[in-house]
Structure 1
Amino acid sequence: MQSTLRRAGAFAAVGTLALAAPVLDVAAFAPFAAVALVAAFLVTEGPLFEVFARPGDHQDGRLNGLAGFALAAAALAILVAAVDMPVSLFVTTVLVLSYGNLGKQLVATVSDDPFLGTAGFVLGGSLGGLAGQLGVVAVTELAPAYPLFVFLASAAALVAALFREVLFERDDPLVMLSTGLLLWLFDALSGPVGAVEIGAALALTVALGYVSYALKTASVAGMLSGVLLSLLVIIFGGFGWFAVLMSFFAIGALSTKFKYDDKLNRGVAEENEGARGTSNVLGNAAVAVVSVVGFAASGWFSVDAVVFQYAFAGSMAAALSDTLSSEIGGLYDNPRLITTFRRVEPGTDGGVTWQGELAGLVGAGIVAVIAMLLLSDVTTPLGGVVVFFGGLAGMTADSLLGATIEGDRIGNEAVNFTATLVGAVVSTGVALFVLG
């Protein structure tokens, strides 16, 4: 354990070289290129080797982990010079990964709980990323925008933690490059961020993460996905958008846990005790995320922002409608295949019950009402009806796909994604046609 913590501290020290980037300017890659050269060819044994060596490095006789980490940092630094990536984002990315891993290893000395380890990574990475941006402010003319700095550091830490959760430690170079590019996108999309806004956003998303994990409604990766998506929705859309998203996350999660033992006995329960993973979260919410990103970027294109509000609300109405239809409908006997109305066994893809369909209609209605009350462009009863029909269309599409191609051809997550896409397209199309 001590060797792992020592290695994390050593990697953090190397990552701190990123603070020299504002001074080195176009040569910001040089320190990391030098570290990569030393790690790959010069240090093959001895005390320094032991400090940085990961288990596989001993077999190869070189510091592959350190070399990959340093090369990824060097590549990211080249983007600063080549395509004008802000140097503050480079520094943030490197320090998030460096100090996030150190935070995780510090927690590991007192607890092996995966949730606490992930929390340690996010906290350590966020603090490291924030410190990096403040360091850049100290030596450059970058205007201090503290709430924005907090958002970018937190978002980068969540992205890196999620990638680390679904990949492997040896994939840190990929994690660093991916995090850096996404952070660049987040920065470009961000408008003015207020202190109260980011404070409330972090409080809400942290609470969401804790509750989802404590109630076992999501895996660690699923929890990270939900927290990250919620943070992005609040910053890029607003708290009304977050309320719509939460209607799906909260009600959907509770419906999954509802009479779980009965569902288990009937063979229709979700795996992992109903804890949803990243693929499930993204399958249901990917269209919503694209919608809120499109909303934030609508000023770049000649596209009315109202399109993205209806797409977002319609996709969430479809997601909640489908979830309630499946979770409630699975408790009742005699489901019928939606394409032929032939009776099938409970849990059969494409099988529906009238109770499940009714629950799905209620789910679509809940999202429609929340959207009508809280989304600025969905403010009339007619707007709510448009969202409702989008949800109904998505739920029906899910059942049709389940009855025809789900299983051998595509999986459940792909079906969920398609259903939410149908909900978004129908809501948007009807809104443009009916509301002009």
Structure 2
Amino acid sequence: MPTARAAGRTAGAAGKAAVRLGAVALAGVLLAACGGSPDGASDSAGGEVTLTVDLFGSFGYQESGLYAEYEKLHPGVTIKQTDTEDEADYWKSLQTRLAGGGGLADVQAVEVGRIASVAQQQADRFEDLRKHGADKLKSQFPEAKWTAATGKNGEVLGLGTDVGPEAMCYRSDLLAAAGLPTDREELARKWSTWDGYLDLGRQYKAKAPAKSAWLDSVGSLYSVMIGQQKERYYDASGKLIWDTNPALKTAWDTSVTAAHDGLSAKLDQWSPQWNQAFTAGSFATLPCPAWMLGYIKGQAGDAGKGKWDIAKLPGGAGNWGGSYLTVPRAAKHKKEAYELIAWLTAPAQQARLFQKQGSFPSATAAIGQIAGATDPYFSGAPIGSIFGDAAKAAPVQVLGVHDQSVAQQITNALGEVERKGTDPEAAWANARKGVENTIG
């Protein structure tokens, strides 16, 4: 979900949809059951266990019935989930609890923009999952997804949940009302570039239904554009380059243009007003990584079914978001927590989550299982191929310790341009100051 997914992505009801995988899911359960801790020991000596899971937004585990299934397969285990809508708030709280050593859940989610901080700076605060057999799972994941959560001494600090291949979600009814094409293939051709996307936005603005803008916010436009780059905030050597990166400046300038042209609904993503806008038809397009599908379903509800569709993203493939499940060193039930996250991130469960919730799998075996998936909520869009193709073509991104913090300062500054009319140069200076104050 989750930037929202995500996840700033964090996704409130990160949902997604289509075919059922009964036999495959059962096979995954059996495989995952074989992948537990080798010694079979239990933190709670075989008694009843309540596992606490703390997430940002909803990862879809509860909504898709995975918790209930796991509890049925493991009598005596009860799963209790808490979540925070905004990932930035979640991370701040997690840092406070990690520093104090108390109040931590058995399972804590970590967004991909934070995983370098865990691996490079906080490995001593998280369980090395090799103790429980995680090294046997390495072949399930792409090398980049696995190594991002690997500490300096080889510690395995988290298991990958989803990745965030990007597309463009749109309201076909609103586009039709403005006299624009609604066919996903035609739209993909017309907005093959970001300039083409903005041109269509200007056409939409000229004939748009009342109180409806082209896109939700320029912050979401920036986030999806920067997700198309290999190097964003850091280079491969670990040097902070955000303020000299020409690709980032292009994403900034394009977002500023969209703001100045009045193409945005000026909504702060993840805010109550943004959530309400899904039912009000306040915007016609929404840059959407795969995990956003479930968020749309959760906010737009049944009334939105068939009104939404999905097309390929302007400017090529990219990735926005994706997450990991970790076990804090201070967790009460570390072994049982590991067994749960190993099962939740197994290929069968990841494939099922995509079918139900839209979280695109990071487990390689799951990707082939969902290749033909379609989603009736999104007008039958071939979500398996759209997001699958995007995942294959997306660059392997360089991850830095403060990726998410830098991104937050930039989107905050774009919000000033969008909502307050702040001069872009002044807003850029504010972003620079914010980065300096946040990361030193």
TM-score by length of 2: 0.22
User: Which of the pair has more CA radius of gyration?
Assistant: 1
Relative to its length, the structure with more helix (as a share) is 1
TM-score by length of 1: 0.22
Relative to its length, the structure with more strand (as a share) is 2
Structure number with greater CO (CA < 8 Å, separation at least 6) is: 2
